[in-house]
Structures are given as structure tokens and as C-alpha cells.
Amino acid sequence: MQSVNRRTFVKTVMVGAAVLTLDAAVTAPFLSAKPKGLESLGECKKVSIKCISEVGWWDNKVLISDMMKGGGLKEAEQWSCAWDPKNSAGSCSLVEVEALDGSKTRFLIDTGWNAEYMDKRFKDEGIDKMLKNGEIDFLYITHEHLDHFWGLETTLKYNPEIKIIIPSTFHPPAEKFIAGADFPKCGAKNTVQHKGKLVKFQMGEMTPLAKGVVSVGFDNPIILKIQGEQSLYFNVKDKGLVLCTGCCHQNVITFSDYAVKNLGAQGKLHGLYGGLHIAPFGKLDDEPKGWVKNMASYGFTKIAANHCTGLPAVQMMVELGYPVVKGTGKKGSISDLYIGNGDSVEFG
């Protein structure tokens, strides 16, 4: 297996749509002239993440067929495609950050796709009650993709007042959807008007979320005509940096490099959680294999990659001896090889 140098990597990213692994292009976010030290983020004591659902959709063939009918991989637009409603599931995780003083911040990363399915997952994991009781501080949406966002009604019906944080690049239909709208052609429906605060984080910028936690917006074009994804960095005391994503459309290398270049995290990358978009449609091509191989250079000591990382990519990480956290393979997850539905992982 060959390693992939930076130039090859960028080239690969640029042809990503053709190989069904990445998106049209990746643009690095704003790089600060002077890298900040990790201490500038502050520190937290511990981060606990529970995967509520990591199954974006059930059948890759159905999803790709819907995309082809909607204009093809490069031209399809998510709000215009006629998605098969039986194929939808969704991505959503619950995060609990414990501060050094013991106080806790809880939030959801994304809210899935199929409202009925998400309601079942919420009830199974007690998210419905936590939302009702105001125990979840906010909903952080990583990007506009259907499998992370269109299940919004399930969150809102339990707490319409919840604060929602979105990338500033959301398109007009996405904002209408949050306010309560029905898009019959694509099957996106939200009958519950959002009554809380809607916060937009600028892409290309770093925004603090809590002590030791920052969000960074990566302003890249993404498949299905989406723009920008925001991801999280947690600075865990005595452990190092934990990186957390929805789909990581900016790519795991760009995501990790940002921490090294802008946060002075060389040698201090501890954990990784979320979808890494390496083999999202179940096929691991030669060049993405190189990205998996190059992940070794960051020295992660705990990897909980799920969702669009793709099973063959996780299998390769295991073969390479990476510290992949196993799951139970229950509650709808397709494998116990990684943290799936109902599984939890702790950093700190």
C-alpha cells in the first residue's frame, strides 16, 4: 500500500466526485497568521459522546439511484431530488462536556433524517425526555445534508425553544425548513416551528462553544450542492485534542492538519469521533486508502469513526493497528467494529 503525499492528496480531493468518495473540492478554511496554542482554547475535563444514530440511510444503491435521477453526482441538489422515504435514517450524537469545575454542557450534534426513525432512536436513548426537561443545551448542526438535518422535527417537538447553531452558509430552503415548512418533492417536512435562538457560525472562522471547546467552519463545496461544514475540537486536560465531526466533508487530513497548523496540536491529537467520509458508499478506492494510511501520522490514541467513514475504511484502520473503539452492533448498526447506535465513548 502506498502512502499519499500532500500533492496527491489534494489532487485526489479534486477528483473526489468521480470516485464517489469525496466532494467537488475542498477549500482550507482561514488559517490564522499566528498559530494559537492549545492553551488559548482553555481546557475541559472530559468529553462523553453517545451515538444516537450513525446510519445515514439503509441502502447505498437506492441513495445513488435517487441522486442519479436527480441530475447525477455532480449536479443533484438535495432539495430537488425525489428521495425514497423508506431509505432514510439519519446521523445524530449526544455530547456531554464536563468542565474543570464539574459543570456540564450537553448538546446534540445533528438531528438525523427520517423523523419517525429518529423518534424511535430518541425514545430508546431517553433523548425525548432530556429535551423536554431542558437538559440539552443546544442543537449543533454540522452541515445542511439531509441525513443530519431533515429529522429536525423530532428535536423540535420535544423542545421547540432549543437554541440551534448552523453554518452561515445554509441555503434559503434550509432556513424556511427550520421555521416550519414542507417540501413534498424531496420529502423534507417540519411541522414544528422553531421558537428558540438561531445562531449562525461563520465559515472559515473558529468560534468558542464552551471552555475547551471550539467550532471551526470549513467553507468547502459538498456533494448535493451544499456549502460548508463545521466541526469541533475539544481540548481535554492531560489528554490532548479530541476532533469531532458530522461527515468530515473537509476530509480527515484537512481536519487534522487544521489542529496542527492553527492550534499548535502537533503530537497532541488524542481522539477522533464521527463520520469521516472515506468510503461513504461502501467502496474503498486506492486513493482513500492512502488517507487512512496517512492518519497514522497524527498519533490518535482513540478513534471512534462511524457513519460515512464506511465499513471497509474502519476495517483498514483495524488492520493497520489503529486504536479503533468497538461497538455493540445493535439497534440498527451494521457492524460491531465501530461505535454505533446506542454506543458511547469517553475521552478524558
Written as nine digits, the cell of 288 is: 482513500
Q: 132-162 burial by CB neighbour count: b if 16+ within 10 A, else e?
A: eeeebbbbbbbbbbbbbbbbbbbbbbbbeeb
Select the span of 10-18, 20-28, 48-56, 309-317 touching Fe ion (CB under 5 A): 48-56
- Nearest distance in Å: CB 191, Fe ion: 23
Query: Do residues 27 and 219 touch, judged by C-beta distance below 8 A?
Result: yes
Map the footprint of Fe ion across residues 85-144, applying CB under 5 A. Answer: 91
Nearer to Fe ion, 96 or 229 (CB): 229
Nearer to Fe ion, 271 or 310 (CB): 310
Q: Exposed, middle or buried by CB within 10 Å (0-12, 13-18, 19+), for 220?
A: buried
Q: x/- string (CB under 5 A) for Fe ion, residues 285-314?
A: -----------------------x------
Q: x/- string (CB under 5 A) for Fe ion, residues 216-255?
A: -------------------------------x--------
Map the footprint of Fe ion across residues 141-170, applying CB under 5 A. Answer: 145, 147
Residue with C-alpha cell 438525523?
A: 112
- Nearest distance in Å: CB 110, Fe ion: 8
Nearest to 227 by CA among 144, 166, 140, 139: 144
Strand partners, 139: 108, 164
- Nearest distance in Å: CB 139, Fe ion: 16
Nearer to Fe ion, 91 or 254 (CB): 91
- Nearest distance in Å: CB 63, Fe ion: 11
Written as nine digits, the cell of 282 is: 461502501
Query: Do residues 154 and 123 touch, judged by C-beta distance below 8 A?
Result: no
Query: Do residues 225 and 186 touch, judged by C-beta distance below 8 A?
Result: no
- Give the residue closest to Fe ion by C-beta: 247
Written as nine digits, the cell of 283 is: 467502496
Nearer to Fe ion, 87 or 159 (CB): 87
Nearer to Fe ion, 48 or 227 (CB): 227
3-state secondary structure 218-261: EEEEECCCEEEEEEEEEEECCCEEEEEECCCCCCHHHHHHHHHH
- Nearest distance in Å: CB 245, Fe ion: 10
Nearer to Fe ion, 56 or 271 (CB): 56
Cβ-proximal residues to 6 (8 Å cutoff; 6+ apart), any chain = none
Nearest to 298 by CA among 237, 338, 257: 257
- Nearest distance in Å: CB 269, Fe ion: 23
- Nearest distance in Å: CB 275, Fe ion: 5
Nearer to Fe ion, 56 or 288 (CB): 56
Q: x/- string (CB under 5 A) for Fe ion, residues 172-201?
A: ------------------------------
Nearer to Fe ion, 56 or 240 (CB): 56
> Is residue 56 a contact point for Fe ion (CB under 5 A)?
yes
- Nearest distance in Å: CB 223, Fe ion: 7
Q: Exposed, middle or buried by CB within 10 Å (0-12, 13-18, 19+), for 275?
A: buried
What are the residues binding Fe ion (CB under 5 A)? 56, 91, 145, 147, 247, 308
